[in-house]
Structure 1
Amino acid sequence: MITSIFLRHFKIYKGITFIPISEGVGFSSLIGENGVGKSSVLEAIDCVLNQKNNNWPINNEAKNEGVGGDNFPYIAPIFLIKKDQLRNSKILDQEQFKKAQKLSDFIWDNNLKAPTKSSSAFNAHKNELKKSYGKNDYFILIVGKKHNDNSIYLGGYQNYIDFIGEKPSIKPSEQEIQKYFKGFYDYIISHYSYLYIPVETDVFTYTKLETVEMQKLMDKNIQDEIIKAIKPGTLKQINKDLSFFVKDVESILEEYEYKGHYKNSLTMPDLVSKIIEAYFSIKVLNKKTKSGKKIIPVSELSSGEKRKALIDVAYSFLFKNQNSNTKIILAIDEPEASLHISACYDQFEKLFGLSKNDHQIIVSTHWYGFLPIVLNGSATSIRKDNTNETTVDFLNLYNYRETITQAKKKIKGQLPIDYNIKSYNDLVQSILFSILKEKPYNWLVCEGLSEKIYFEIYFKDEIENNKLRILPLGSFKEVRKLYNNLLSPIKDPDYKINGKVICLIDTDSERVEVDYENNNKNLFFFRLWNNKKNNLKTELIDVNKNSMNPPTEIEDCLSPYIYKQALIEFIEEYPSIKNVIDNCTVRNNATNSYSTFDLRDSEKEDIKAFFDDHEGYNKIRFAEQYIEILQKPLFQNEPEMEWLLKIKNILN
């Protein structure tokens, strides 16, 4: 997949700009105001992957200043590729595979040296990739092009690669680089089919089955069907008969003959392409009415319906076609264009579903309501400052509200409006519309990422069957804020609410005041609390109850046996944890992790210090270890805790 891209002098981008796109997951979005260059990124990828190397839209300011010599425009995407997904069986492929290995090792091991903003941004992005993807299993490759130049361009790495030639200390010449990488560009991009749908795409033309785009969507299936329909020997007979015909014509011409420039006979691909062109050009896409008794040509649909039809067609082919010879990258400008907000949800859900189906989806958008439904993906915010310089921020959507909360703390001021106001308003609006749907979403809103890690496993059936979404917001204040914004519309009798929203926070030592109405059947607000009067059992209590002691966090509400096993994994790193494991008695009647051990105050502090270490990141590390153990066969029949069952009963 494409994880990022370098652009130089392309459309709105003057100078070298680095745009992060993905940290290795399939769904990516580009957000920002009009004119910041979101669509330009998608168009640039189209130029490179579909080999539109001539007549790039060059930045006008750069063009006026002159873009010759060393100041050339270029596009250089960065690919992250699992090694076993590159062809490596034929001799020619094996040669290119070895080049990929050398180039990838060089990029993994070496940072870009130029002291520029774009180089630093790429180095930081690569370091994030390293956390999840290792050089032993994955290639990281830069494969780009200069404007009006068919040679390969490797971005900033082209200036100092040292693995070409017998003397690594001597920088290879440009001619040596091009000779070494001959065929490499074509080899890499041949593994991908890039489909770009600009916002002004004509759905009538695009969906005609003989177009290049539709054939990419259909991939080899329709071609295989045509080949099956052609009887053995038919092509041979056609060539034979036509050859006789040509010879008869030539015998009449005497001094002239017909000869092919590249070949003298039809091949099977020639025949297949002509059949596709002739047969499918007479067919146009029509939309069936709900009754099925009438069809409407897509050219007669409304603007919103046309946009929806484009996504529906792409979704249908990509979702059902699992035999693709190439990896599909589907890029769409503003999927929400001309759609009512209630339809936007379905549109983005389909696209996200495709990303889970081993396709890469990249969208540019102004509608941020999709952010909470994306369980795994990214958003790249592109902005222009007062000096017209591009600023790019990368957000992981796995816990995007928490990321924004943390960003506020770091910046210590106002975030850009597209983060702070629009994302929050769209979040509230999108949750509201999602629970109004006939087949609604349900929401479990929590404080932190560690809760989400636990809940995605504990509620995996509800996520799959009840369209449950786990939304971490970063703090109890953010959870309360969301609750207050949802309360009025959910109470409104004019709305028929079908889904449910459960807000859940820890019990802190200080009381939390919330205007909570506990008689609402669609909106709930609970605290986790370990009740000393009930054998320290974890309970879900109304958020405004006076019970504040003991303070209770998610780490206090887990299975006692799995909790202990997860702690054991950290004893080498934390001797204080080893001391607890070795010296503290395990209570036989423990109902949760809080009551697992009979701890002294000092030992309680040791446990707390462990979870607070690395600025609280140990909570995430522990959660990941906990769920790994939870899913092992030994713990498959572990009885569910009552507070989890209560949430499930509400959802079901």
Structure 2
Amino acid sequence: MLVGVFLRHFKIYKGARYIPFGINDVENFNLFIGQNGAGKSSILESLDSFFNNREFIYNTHQNKNDAFVAPVFLIEKSELKKFDKDVQQIIPIINEFFMELDGNSGNYKIYNNFFEHRDCLKKYNETHYLILSSHSPSGEFLENAFITFNKSVIKQIKEKVPELSDGKKLRRVLEKLKSDLISKYSYQYIPVETSLNDFLRLESKGMQDLMSENIKERIEKVLTQKAPVQEGRSQKSLLDIVNSDLEDFVGKVAHTVQLIDDKYDFEKEYKAKTKLTANHLTDIIVDSFFSKRKLKRDGKPIENMSAGERKKALIDIAYAFLTQERKLSQNIILAIDEPESSLHVSMCYDQFKRLQILATKFNVQLFVTTHWYGALPIIDEGVLHHIQSDSEVAEIKPFSFSNYFAKQRQHPDDIQFKSYFDLVSSIISSLRLQDVNWLVVESEDDKKYICKHLSEELIQKTKFLPVGSCAIVAVLYNYLHTPIAQGHDNKTFKGKIFCLIDTDIQGVRLSEKSDVGNIMRIRRLQSNSQKIELHTIESTVHYPTEIEEALVPKAFYNALSSCIEQSNEQNIKDIFSKFKFDESALNSYIKGDDSIIYLDTEQKIEGNPKHLKDEIHKFIDCNKAKLCDLYCGQEISEKPEWIIQIEKYLV
């Protein structure tokens, strides 16, 4: 995985700096946000220069010989055998150097954030190697292979591998290290202005790189298996027959032409294989197949589309390729400049949601720049890099999406307001243009529980937006309220918005904003006389209620029982074994007199049974995600009444 990059004198980045692609860990999703000219695209272009040998754009007025781009990789130790044999010797040495290096010595202080990041990555030291390689077109590679650290790393390599003391051999090995690293990755860069040439390059070579190795292996199997053709007693594959026929044909041609002039000959290239291999033919087959199937939209050839349409098509088709069942020979890195560019605001949410799915569910590493701040509240994993270049040196501040809302007060002033404003604009535009509903909830688990019981038809026409907490649901409701309240009478909205929160002890404040006609409302789950109801914010009934307490009781009990059985906590297993399921339970409470479990009278316990239920409740709090998956994995015919009410509202 790519975990960071060193830059010097590349475009806007004069001087040396390290940009980590993570905070306390490695991250698949890295989002760069900031004003035009701040240096967002420069980071993506620098990586394109390294991986694809694209133009190295120097910072004006700086010494070109000092410029470099040096990505930092975290490579699994099990992958070492896939590198060149000489390279295998130096990778552990390079890793040891960087893992043990004292950042307070020498000229290394300019890279303080590298050493901070390095210390976070030490937890992978048993299973991974940390290595880097540089790209410096105008410099001497051997003298700049490891940038600022070069002399120290080279010295350590020569001491531990004496046969590499020779400069020429060491240079060859270091260049092989770089080429081996590049070959392990397919870096596909989609710039903000996607020219036709850019598109054709990505459509052909890029999309082939994104293709699953499973398909290529199946083609190779067809070509090489011995079953299809029999000649005499021996079996031959299609590839054997093709090679044999071609050899016969070339032999006959060579014989004929040599009758004219015996100096003619069909000599194979130096070190080239005499026969075609399955790998040769597979690439040709794939290339020929896609050359006859050009991407179109509404019958419109891609070359006739605008730059924005071409870009959207690239992202859409890349998503389609990467979400197939696959095995890839290369690690995929997808870098996209401004996915929202030339895209109607109503479509921005869907675009970024798909990118998040690629990163979180399909393990694709993404580097994305944007001016659409609405992406910030909807992404829950990865790093936001806020870039500001008011001074001569661009300042990059990283924020984790996992605790994005909890750290809001530390964010630059423009982030919070713009993120809500852009997201609200996208939601309202989609309501005007599409027959679609929005269901805003606190967490991904809330979304899963509700989807488990909603009809498939309603799921297809509903966008689910988990935002992290009940307070954020309330804030978003407030932002949406004014524009929708002003426009709901003109009947321009085709869909509805439903906001759902738990009932917390402290509650939330909404500045007394009420429902907006039949278009938007907010409700909280409320336990009331053993019933789960949907109450308004102003309701005087206020007993803490979570969604885990509002589910089908038997299904939740089964999920809880399985979760406890699969855990390693013997204490909670012993406690749970003392209780039985109450078949008369109406909801999925654990605490209180209306609990779904009751104490087995044959069990002997010490103390108050209430404390045992408290321990089970603590277990639930620590295992909510797993409980949710176990619950949703069951066949459940019943449906909670409060979900039926949401369905009736959204239909």
TM-score normalised by the chain length of structure 2? 0.71
- Determine if contact 1:2/1:77 at 8 Å carries over to the other structure: yes
- Determine if contact 2:447/2:466 at 8 Å carries over to the other structure: no
- Determine if contact 1:8/1:75 at 8 Å carries over to the other structure: yes
TM-aligned CA distance change 1:636 to 1:101, over 3 Å: farther
Deviation at 1:425, TM superposition (A): 1.0
**Paired residue for 1:236?**
247
Q: What code does the residue aligned with 1:433 have? A: S
- Determine if contact 2:208/2:286 at 8 Å carries over to the other structure: no
Same amino acid, percent of matched pairs: 27
Q: 1:434-486 deviations in whole A, cap 9, x for unaligned?
A: 4456463633233xxxxx2642553464698565434335562x433321221
Paired residue secondary structure (1:458): helix
For residues 82 and 265 of structure 1, what CA distance do their matches in structure 2 show? 32
TM-aligned CA distance change 1:210 to 1:39, over 3 Å: closer
**Paired residue for 1:515?**
512
Matched, 1:302 2:306: yes
- Determine if contact 1:379/1:395 at 8 Å carries over to the other structure: yes
Deviation at 1:190, TM superposition (A): 1.1
For residues 473 and 634 of structure 1, what CA distance do their matches in structure 2 show? 20
**Paired residue for 1:292?**
none
For residues 73 and 232 of structure 1, what CA distance do their matches in structure 2 show? 49
Q: What code does the residue aligned with 2:395 have? A: T
- Determine if contact 1:345/1:369 at 8 Å carries over to the other structure: yes
Q: What code does the residue aligned with 1:455 have? A: D
Deviation at 1:265, TM superposition (A): 7.9
TM-aligned CA distance change 1:530 to 1:113, over 3 Å: farther
Query: Counterparts of 1:117-266 in structure 2 under 5 Å?
Result: 119-126=111-118, 134-148=124-138, 149-151=140-142, 153-154=145-146, 158=150, 160=152, 164=156, 181=174, 183-203=176-196, 206-207=199-200, 212-217=205-210, 231-237=242-248, 240=251, 251=262, 262=270
Unaligned stretches of 5+ in structure 1? 290-294, 447-451, 611-617
**Paired residue for 1:330?**
334
TM-aligned CA distance change 1:250 to 1:45, over 3 Å: farther
Matched, 1:495 2:492: yes
For residues 506 and 353 of structure 1, what CA distance do their matches in structure 2 show? 30
Deviation at 1:81, TM superposition (A): 4.2
Q: What code does the residue aligned with 1:527 have? A: R
Matched, 1:482 2:476: yes
Paired residue secondary structure (2:428): helix
Paired residue secondary structure (2:111): helix
Q: CA RMSD in A?
A: 5.4
TM-aligned CA distance change 1:284 to 1:646, over 3 Å: closer
Q: 1:197-239 deviations in whole A, cap 9, x for unaligned?
A: 2223322663279954455355876895897799333553565
Q: Which of 621, 624, 627 is residue 626 of structure 1 equivalent to? A: 624
Q: Which of 441, 452, 457 is residue 445 of structure 1 equivalent to? A: 441
Deviation at 1:542, TM superposition (A): 0.8
Q: 1:555-591 deviations in whole A, cap 9, x for unaligned?
A: 987989788999999999xxxx99xx89x99997795
Identify which range, 455-464 or 72-81, moves more after superposition.
455-464
Query: Counterparts of 1:277-356 in structure 2 under 5 Å?
Result: 285=294, 287-289=296-298, 295-320=299-324, 322-355=326-359, 356=361
TM-aligned CA distance change 1:288 to 1:167, over 3 Å: closer
- Determine if contact 2:526/2:535 at 8 Å carries over to the other structure: yes
- Determine if contact 1:514/1:544 at 8 Å carries over to the other structure: no
For residues 244 and 197 of structure 2, what CA distance do their matches in structure 1 show? 37
For residues 204 and 182 of structure 1, what CA distance do their matches in structure 2 show? 30
TM-aligned CA distance change 1:286 to 1:556, over 3 Å: closer
Matched, 1:543 2:531: no
Deviation at 1:10, TM superposition (A): 0.9
Q: What code does the residue aligned with 1:627 have? A: A
Q: What code does the residue aligned with 1:424 have? A: Y
Matched, 1:362 2:358: no
For residues 193 and 73 of structure 2, what CA distance do their matches in structure 1 show? 28
Deviation at 1:603, TM superposition (A): 13
For residues 382 and 474 of structure 1, what CA distance do their matches in structure 2 show? 27
Deviation at 1:315, TM superposition (A): 3.8
**Paired residue for 2:446?**
455
For residues 202 and 157 of structure 2, what CA distance do their matches in structure 1 show? 48
Matched, 1:431 2:427: yes
- Determine if contact 2:421/2:479 at 8 Å carries over to the other structure: no
For residues 513 and 271 of structure 1, what CA distance do their matches in structure 2 show? 65
For residues 273 and 586 of structure 1, what CA distance do their matches in structure 2 show? 61
Deviation at 1:12, TM superposition (A): 0.7
Q: What code does the residue aligned with 1:49 have? A: F
TM-aligned CA distance change 1:281 to 1:179, over 3 Å: closer
Q: 1:99-139 deviations in whole A, cap 9, x for unaligned?
A: 54554466556674468676332344455567xx7444444
**Paired residue for 2:57?**
57
TM-aligned CA distance change 1:485 to 1:630, over 3 Å: closer
Paired residue secondary structure (1:207): helix
TM-aligned CA distance change 1:73 to 1:594, over 3 Å: farther
TM-aligned CA distance change 1:279 to 1:511, over 3 Å: closer
For residues 622 and 98 of structure 1, what CA distance do their matches in structure 2 show? 49
For residues 579 and 319 of structure 2, what CA distance do their matches in structure 1 show? 56
Query: Counterparts of 1:47-86 in structure 2 under 5 Å?
Result: 47-52=49-54, 56-63=56-63, 68=65, 72-83=66-77, 86=79
Residues matched between the structures, number: 595
Matched, 1:471 2:461: no
Paired residue secondary structure (2:367): strand
TM-aligned CA distance change 1:427 to 1:344, over 3 Å: closer
Q: Which of 21, 32, 35 is residue 33 of structure 1 equivalent to? A: 35
For residues 310 and 124 of structure 1, what CA distance do their matches in structure 2 show? 37
Unaligned stretches of 5+ in structure 2? 224-237, 599-607
- Determine if contact 1:483/1:503 at 8 Å carries over to the other structure: no
Q: 1:258-290 deviations in whole A, cap 9, x for unaligned?
A: 98874678874898699789979997946353x
Q: What code does the residue aligned with 2:71 have? A: P
**Paired residue for 1:615?**
none
For residues 219 and 510 of structure 1, what CA distance do their matches in structure 2 show? 49
- Determine if contact 2:94/2:131 at 8 Å carries over to the other structure: yes
TM-aligned CA distance change 1:623 to 1:307, over 3 Å: same
For residues 198 and 119 of structure 1, what CA distance do their matches in structure 2 show? 29
**Paired residue for 1:613?**
none
Matched, 1:46 2:48: yes
Query: Counterparts of 1:339-418 in structure 2 under 5 Å?
Result: 339-355=343-359, 356-374=361-379, 376-385=381-390, 387-398=391-402, 400=404, 402-403=405-406, 406-408=407-409, 410=410, 415-417=412-414
Paired residue secondary structure (2:38): coil
Deviation at 1:96, TM superposition (A): 4.4
- Determine if contact 2:375/2:419 at 8 Å carries over to the other structure: no
Matched, 1:11 2:11: yes
Paired residue secondary structure (1:187): helix
Q: 1:146-178 deviations in whole A, cap 9, x for unaligned?
A: 34344473456656559956978x9x9895975
Q: What code does the residue aligned with 2:9 have? A: H
Deviation at 1:376, TM superposition (A): 3.8
For residues 257 and 280 of structure 2, what CA distance do their matches in structure 1 show? 18
TM-aligned CA distance change 1:349 to 1:236, over 3 Å: farther
**Paired residue for 2:501?**
504
Q: What code does the residue aligned with 1:481 have? A: V
For residues 281 and 642 of structure 1, what CA distance do their matches in structure 2 show? 51
